[in-house]
A = this chain, B = another copy of it.
Amino acid sequence: MVRVFKKQINREKLLDQGVSMLMAQGYHGTGLKEILDAVQIPKGSFYNYFGSKEVFCAEVVQHYIDPFIVQLQRHLQTPNVDGLSALKNYFNELIFELEANEFKGGCLLGNLMGELGDNSDICRAALQSAVNQYQDLIKEGLLKGQQEGLVRTDLSAGSMADLLVNTWQGVLLRMKIEKSVAPLQSCCDSLLDGYFKS
Protein backbone atom coordinates (compact mmCIF):
# COMPACT_ATOMS: atom_id res chain seq x y z
CA MET A 1 0.00 0.00 0.00
CA VAL A 2 2.77 2.37 0.95
CA ARG A 3 4.64 1.16 -2.08
CA VAL A 4 2.11 2.22 -4.62
CA PHE A 5 1.96 5.71 -3.14
CA LYS A 6 5.71 6.09 -3.25
CA LYS A 7 5.64 4.99 -6.84
CA GLN A 8 3.16 7.70 -7.71
CA ILE A 9 5.21 10.28 -5.85
CA ASN A 10 8.40 9.27 -7.63
CA ARG A 11 6.65 9.36 -10.98
CA GLU A 12 5.44 12.84 -10.21
CA LYS A 13 8.90 13.95 -9.16
CA LEU A 14 10.39 12.65 -12.37
CA LEU A 15 7.73 14.28 -14.49
CA ASP A 16 8.16 17.63 -12.75
CA GLN A 17 11.90 17.51 -13.20
CA GLY A 18 11.44 16.31 -16.76
CA VAL A 19 9.30 19.31 -17.60
CA SER A 20 11.87 21.74 -16.34
CA MET A 21 14.91 20.05 -17.86
CA LEU A 22 13.36 19.28 -21.23
CA MET A 23 12.23 22.89 -21.37
CA ALA A 24 15.71 24.15 -20.65
CA GLN A 25 17.78 21.75 -22.71
CA GLY A 26 15.54 19.86 -25.08
CA TYR A 27 15.11 16.13 -25.52
CA HIS A 28 18.48 15.12 -26.88
CA GLY A 29 20.18 17.74 -24.77
CA THR A 30 18.98 16.18 -21.54
CA GLY A 31 20.28 12.88 -20.19
CA LEU A 32 18.16 10.60 -18.05
CA LYS A 33 20.90 10.49 -15.46
CA GLU A 34 20.73 14.24 -15.14
CA ILE A 35 17.03 14.07 -14.35
CA LEU A 36 17.41 11.11 -12.02
CA ASP A 37 20.27 12.69 -10.11
CA ALA A 38 18.27 15.86 -9.59
CA VAL A 39 15.45 13.99 -7.87
CA GLN A 40 17.73 11.40 -6.28
CA ILE A 41 16.22 8.37 -7.89
CA PRO A 42 18.64 5.66 -9.00
CA LYS A 43 19.17 4.88 -12.62
CA GLY A 44 17.82 1.38 -12.46
CA SER A 45 14.51 2.56 -11.09
CA PHE A 46 13.62 4.70 -14.04
CA TYR A 47 12.43 1.77 -16.07
CA ASN A 48 10.10 0.70 -13.31
CA TYR A 49 8.27 3.96 -13.82
CA PHE A 50 8.51 4.51 -17.55
CA GLY A 51 9.03 2.27 -20.53
CA SER A 52 11.64 4.42 -22.21
CA LYS A 53 12.92 7.95 -22.49
CA GLU A 54 10.57 8.46 -25.39
CA VAL A 55 7.38 7.46 -23.55
CA PHE A 56 8.57 9.42 -20.55
CA CYS A 57 8.80 12.46 -22.78
CA ALA A 58 5.29 11.88 -24.06
CA GLU A 59 4.02 11.83 -20.49
CA VAL A 60 5.98 14.95 -19.69
CA VAL A 61 4.15 16.71 -22.51
CA GLN A 62 0.76 16.09 -20.91
CA HIS A 63 2.14 16.87 -17.47
CA TYR A 64 3.35 20.17 -18.87
CA ILE A 65 0.12 21.30 -20.44
CA ASP A 66 -2.20 20.39 -17.55
CA PRO A 67 -1.48 23.46 -15.40
CA PHE A 68 -1.91 25.75 -18.40
CA ILE A 69 -5.32 24.30 -19.04
CA VAL A 70 -6.31 24.79 -15.41
CA GLN A 71 -5.07 28.36 -15.49
CA LEU A 72 -6.93 29.14 -18.69
CA GLN A 73 -10.11 27.52 -17.40
CA ARG A 74 -9.88 29.64 -14.28
CA HIS A 75 -9.82 32.80 -16.37
CA LEU A 76 -12.67 31.66 -18.56
CA GLN A 77 -14.84 30.87 -15.57
CA THR A 78 -14.20 34.08 -13.69
CA PRO A 79 -17.56 35.78 -13.12
CA ASN A 80 -18.27 39.13 -14.75
CA VAL A 81 -15.38 38.75 -17.18
CA ASP A 82 -16.24 38.40 -20.86
CA GLY A 83 -14.56 35.76 -23.03
CA LEU A 84 -12.26 38.13 -24.86
CA SER A 85 -11.06 39.82 -21.68
CA ALA A 86 -10.53 36.42 -20.06
CA LEU A 87 -8.21 35.46 -22.91
CA LYS A 88 -6.40 38.76 -22.70
CA ASN A 89 -5.98 38.40 -18.95
CA TYR A 90 -4.71 34.87 -19.38
CA PHE A 91 -2.11 35.82 -21.96
CA ASN A 92 -1.02 38.82 -19.95
CA GLU A 93 -0.45 36.52 -17.03
CA LEU A 94 1.67 34.28 -19.25
CA ILE A 95 3.68 37.24 -20.46
CA PHE A 96 4.32 38.32 -16.90
CA GLU A 97 5.56 34.86 -15.99
CA LEU A 98 7.76 34.55 -19.05
CA GLU A 99 9.32 37.90 -18.31
CA ALA A 100 9.98 36.87 -14.72
CA ASN A 101 11.63 33.76 -16.13
CA GLU A 102 13.96 35.81 -18.30
CA PHE A 103 12.41 34.53 -21.53
CA LYS A 104 13.84 31.08 -20.99
CA GLY A 105 12.19 27.91 -22.14
CA GLY A 106 9.32 29.29 -24.12
CA CYS A 107 6.81 26.54 -24.76
CA LEU A 108 7.79 22.93 -24.28
CA LEU A 109 5.23 21.89 -26.88
CA GLY A 110 6.67 24.12 -29.55
CA ASN A 111 10.24 23.19 -28.73
CA LEU A 112 9.50 19.48 -28.92
CA MET A 113 7.43 19.84 -32.07
CA GLY A 114 10.52 21.23 -33.73
CA GLU A 115 12.94 18.74 -32.24
CA LEU A 116 10.92 15.52 -32.34
CA GLY A 117 7.91 16.15 -34.55
CA ASP A 118 9.46 14.30 -37.44
CA ASN A 119 11.06 11.43 -35.58
CA SER A 120 8.98 10.29 -32.64
CA ASP A 121 5.44 9.16 -33.36
CA ILE A 122 4.78 8.63 -29.67
CA CYS A 123 5.73 12.19 -28.80
CA ARG A 124 4.04 13.55 -31.86
CA ALA A 125 0.75 12.01 -30.75
CA ALA A 126 1.17 13.43 -27.26
CA LEU A 127 1.94 16.86 -28.67
CA GLN A 128 -1.04 16.72 -30.98
CA SER A 129 -3.35 15.79 -28.14
CA ALA A 130 -2.00 18.45 -25.81
CA VAL A 131 -2.22 21.24 -28.34
CA ASN A 132 -5.75 20.24 -29.28
CA GLN A 133 -6.91 20.34 -25.67
CA TYR A 134 -5.41 23.76 -25.34
CA GLN A 135 -6.78 25.10 -28.58
CA ASP A 136 -10.29 23.85 -27.83
CA LEU A 137 -10.29 25.87 -24.66
CA ILE A 138 -9.22 29.00 -26.45
CA LYS A 139 -11.91 28.39 -29.00
CA GLU A 140 -14.45 28.27 -26.18
CA GLY A 141 -13.30 31.66 -24.98
CA LEU A 142 -13.60 33.14 -28.45
CA LEU A 143 -17.02 31.56 -28.88
CA LYS A 144 -18.14 33.16 -25.66
CA GLY A 145 -16.74 36.46 -26.90
CA GLN A 146 -18.73 36.10 -30.08
CA GLN A 147 -21.95 35.47 -28.17
CA GLU A 148 -21.21 38.56 -26.11
CA GLY A 149 -20.79 40.59 -29.28
CA LEU A 150 -17.15 41.45 -28.62
CA VAL A 151 -15.54 39.13 -31.15
CA ARG A 152 -16.23 39.25 -34.88
CA THR A 153 -18.54 36.56 -36.16
CA ASP A 154 -17.55 36.57 -39.82
CA LEU A 155 -14.65 34.31 -38.86
CA SER A 156 -15.21 31.04 -37.03
CA ALA A 157 -14.03 30.74 -33.45
CA GLY A 158 -12.17 27.61 -34.50
CA SER A 159 -10.08 29.27 -37.17
CA MET A 160 -9.31 32.21 -34.92
CA ALA A 161 -8.22 29.87 -32.13
CA ASP A 162 -6.05 28.11 -34.67
CA LEU A 163 -4.39 31.32 -35.74
CA LEU A 164 -3.89 32.48 -32.18
CA VAL A 165 -2.32 29.24 -31.01
CA ASN A 166 -0.01 29.05 -34.00
CA THR A 167 1.05 32.65 -33.78
CA TRP A 168 1.64 32.28 -30.07
CA GLN A 169 3.99 29.37 -30.75
CA GLY A 170 5.84 31.49 -33.25
CA VAL A 171 6.22 34.49 -30.99
CA LEU A 172 7.50 32.30 -28.17
CA LEU A 173 10.33 31.18 -30.42
CA ARG A 174 10.94 34.76 -31.34
CA MET A 175 10.98 35.79 -27.71
CA LYS A 176 13.76 33.32 -27.03
CA ILE A 177 16.14 34.81 -29.52
CA GLU A 178 15.17 38.43 -28.96
CA LYS A 179 15.17 37.99 -25.20
CA SER A 180 12.18 40.26 -25.02
CA VAL A 181 8.46 39.99 -24.39
CA ALA A 182 7.75 42.53 -27.12
CA PRO A 183 6.85 39.83 -29.67
CA LEU A 184 4.37 38.37 -27.19
CA GLN A 185 2.70 41.70 -26.60
CA SER A 186 2.45 42.57 -30.24
CA CYS A 187 0.88 39.16 -30.88
CA CYS A 188 -1.89 39.92 -28.38
CA ASP A 189 -2.26 43.44 -29.73
CA SER A 190 -2.49 42.30 -33.33
CA LEU A 191 -4.97 39.50 -32.76
CA LEU A 192 -6.95 39.87 -29.54
CA ASP A 193 -6.96 43.65 -29.68
CA GLY A 194 -7.06 43.92 -33.43
CA TYR A 195 -8.00 41.30 -35.93
CA PHE A 196 -10.46 39.42 -33.73
CA LYS A 197 -12.40 42.38 -32.45
CA SER A 198 -15.87 43.00 -33.78
- Report if A118 contacts B (CB, 8 A): yes
Given A105-B118, A118-B104, A195-B195, A163 contacting B167 (CB threshold 8 A): yes
Q: How far is the CA of A24 from the CA of B113 in the complex (A)?
A: 12
Q: Is the CB of A115 within 8 A of B26?
A: yes
Looking at A49-57, A88-96, A124-132, the stretch in contact with chain B turns out to be A124-132
Q: Can you name the residue of chain B whose Cβ is closest to the Cβ of A182?
A: B162
Q: Is the CB of A173 within 8 A of B26?
A: no
Given A159-B186, A166-B167, A166-B183, A177 contacting B117 (CB threshold 8 A): yes
Given A24-B118, A174-B113, A190 contacting B163 (CB threshold 8 A): yes
Q: Which of chain B's residues have a CB closer than 8 A to the CB of A136?
A: none
Q: Which of B29, B155, B169 contacts A173 (CB 8 A)?
A: B169
Q: Which of B28, B104, B124 contacts A177 (CB 8 A)?
A: B124
Taking the nearest CB of chain B, how far is it from the CB of A27, in angstroms? 8
- Report if A32 contacts B (CB, 8 A): no
**Chain A to chain B contacts (Cβ below 8 Å), 23 pairs:** A26-B114, A28-B28, A106-B114, A110-B170, A111-B115, A112-B114, A117-B176, A124-B177, A128-B177, A155-B194, A162-B186, A163-B187, A165-B170, A165-B174, A166-B167, A166-B171, A166-B173, A166-B187, A169-B169, A169-B170, A169-B173, A170-B171, A170-B173
Residue ranges of A at the interface with B (Cβ–Cβ < 8 Å): 24-29, 104-106, 110-115, 117-119, 124, 127-128, 131, 155, 159, 162-163, 165-171, 173-174, 176-178, 183, 186-187, 190, 194-195
